[in-house]
Chain A
């Protein structure tokens, strides 16, 4: 632990970023997102929105300046994503472009970093697909079955991934695959490796991407590997250490996703309060009723609490301090608070909450996701119970 006192800001930091993002989002109102939901998978990606964000440079926020990014702390990335969600838009279509590169940054060779990071920073190359989860192993990540077997100077990949979002809109994909059979590993966390796959080469040559029809427009897919050949230079870092590489990027991801939930929460509270003040039934604004007012107030209080935890996690991360507990708690609290706010907003709108044109139900459906992904509430509780509070492993 450092001897320095750790301080964090409690004000609305990076106001220039918040304003700039709000301006971009103004160009993408509810109708834009609703229309996308009516498209088949091929046409449902928010290309124009992602382009606008790419051009703004915000997606390169976390890439060091030496590689063409802005070299900002994770807190800045969090503020950008929070602002996107607060303004009614959805960052899921492009947030990975911000942080998936982290594995290359921390564990790639100089060659790999020089080759890829500048192009990711400019948006010339999209690295926004992260192939980890598998249909049969779910939360038991280390037991994943997709194999990458040595063949000459490269590898041959066989297996299947699920919930690989944005794979159809990415040029590169980070893949976690098994390089040492489970039986030959001493620890559960050994034997996995990270690869940077060039999807432009791989698709149709042993890598097939199938859109998944889901409750929300998440541009998510199943990916099938059938004797996909990849060059040896695809390997990131050392064979067998892939799980550890992925892990150290998890905290960053948790902090960033928590920020999206916080933005959602603010969106819902604002919409709910506006409607509660405007909608007059029984001769008074419905917000006059505690049955409407209190759930919104409660959700706001939960949101404020989650916000402080999220700032703490970001501050510790940027200071290089271990922050697994804080990052997980931030993710947990923010997703829960956002859901409470979503529920209060939907309830406040009465029947109109169900009408698509009111733009409540879309974000409500999306808010449900973060209680499950990228890590579920139960898995976070298991982590806290075991690794923070010292109770036995329960699963």
Chain B
């Protein structure tokens, strides 16, 4: 444990200049832009212009240290960027990975790997926004993943399958978690998997196939099939067999960032709900005058405010080098539930018009549902809390 104190800023708007700058950028990408993308087939549904502009403005390099060409900002600053993107009705998920997936390279890569990749990721010249972990057969049981990376001369050959690999169609390199030691030869469940940085441009020519998944939301997500894909030895990050630990120590930061997106999405929906409740007049008065409309909004606001504090707490602890698994998971859980409360209140408040695409309520409502599922489900968070924080037996 570090001696530093964890401090969180209580102002509703911390990093106000940063927020205002990001808002200005996002104003150029209103609802129509996002609605139009939803009508496109997978090949053209990615918000390329938006992501490019965020990249050019340097926002996606927020968490890369200055020595590698990034802005070297704090986790909280990165969170504020993503929160603001979502608050403005834009999508953070299209590019948030570019902000943090490099963290594994930063923390566990060799100096050579860091010098080679990080500056290019900072400028956006190289897109590292695909994270190949989840598999269709193993789901939440990450350590049992089956994709293999077997030694082949100086390199490895990959065989297996991944699912829900978002943005794979818009990434140049991918962080891949694959098994290098067969399960039977491992002492612990968490041993035997390794992390690789895969050059996707090369891999696509050598047995790697990316298939878009047709999903309920525009998440640019894919299945990836590896059929004897060869990768060089220097694709390995850190030591063989320690991959799961490497991934784990990035999880808390990710939870904080994703939670901040949920907070931003919740604010977008809540603000819309309040506006409509005040403007829509039925039975001779604004519908917000009815407690049946007003109370769900107020309740959602309360959940939003308290979850925001938990997320800020987790972020502050992370920045101070304190162990923050409990707080990061609580923050993820609470922010997702708060987001859903805001989404539902907004949807109900808009009555029939919630279903009309042009009102732009149903888009973020559908996306809000995902936050209660990914990147970790509420049930898995409760398992973690129940077992590791509260000391009850493992239930699964």
Q: Which residues does A use to contact B, with CB under 8 Å?
A: 133, 137-140, 162-163, 212-216, 218, 279, 281-284, 288-292, 346-347, 350-351, 353-357, 361, 365, 368-369, 371-373, 376-378, 381-382, 394-395
Contact = CB atoms under 8 A, between A and B. Distances in A.
- Top-7 shortest CB links A-B: A378-B292, A291-B379, A361-B216, A215-B362, A214-B355, A356-B214, A213-B357
Contacts of A381: 292
B396 A289 contact: yes
Interface stretch (B132-140, B264-272, B302-310): B132-140
Given A282-B396, A361-B216, A351 B164 contact: yes
B154 interface: no
Interface stretch (B47-55, B57-65, B231-239, B369-377): B369-377
13 contacts: A133-B352, A213-B357, A216-B355, A288-B396, A291-B379, A291-B383, A347-B373, A347-B377, A347-B379, A354-B370, A357-B214, A376-B351, A395-B283
Nearest to A40: B39
B139 A353 contact: no
Contact of A354 (B215, B292, B358): B215
B134 A139 contact: no
Given A138-B351, A289-B396, A378-B293, A350 B140 contact: yes
B351 A365 contact: no
Given A281-B138, A282-B141, A215 B355 contact: yes
A209 to B, nearest CB: 16
Interface in B342-396: 347-348, 351-352, 354-358, 362, 366, 369-370, 372-374, 377, 379, 382-383, 395-396
Contacts of A378: 290, 292-293, 348
B10 interface: no
Contact of B356 (A213, A282, A369): A213
Interface size classification for chain B: 35 or more
B216 A214 contact: no
B282 interface: yes
B355 A369 contact: yes
B213 interface: yes
A290 B395 CA distance: 9
A367 B290 CA distance: 25
Given A292-B379, A369-B355, A356 B140 contact: no
B163 interface: yes
Contacts of A346: 369
B322 interface: no
B139 A350 contact: yes
Q: Specify the main secondary structure of chain A where it touches its partner.
A: mixed
Contact of B282 (A137, A216, A347): A137
A288 to B, nearest CB: 8
A192 to B, nearest CB: 16
Contacts of B163: 351
A212 B352 CA distance: 11
A14 B175 CA distance: 57
A395 B352 CA distance: 19
Interface in B203-222: 213-217, 219
A213 B358 contact: yes
A350 B377 contact: yes
A214 B351 contact: no
Interface string B116-154: 000000000000000000100011110000000000000
A140 B283 contact: yes
A290 B386 CA distance: 13
Nearest to B383: A291
Nearest to B296: A378
Nearest to B221: A354
Contacts of A290: 395
A216 B369 CA distance: 16
A283 B283 CA distance: 57
A357 B211 CA distance: 14
A371 B355 contact: no
Contacts of B164: 351
Contacts of A372: 348, 351-352, 354-355
A290 B382 CA distance: 12
Contacts of A369: 355
Contact of A214 (B214, B347, B357, B379): B357
A376 B351 CA distance: 8
B352 A355 contact: no
Contacts of B284: 140
B352 A350 contact: no
Contacts of A351: 134, 139, 163-164, 373-374
A355 B140 contact: no
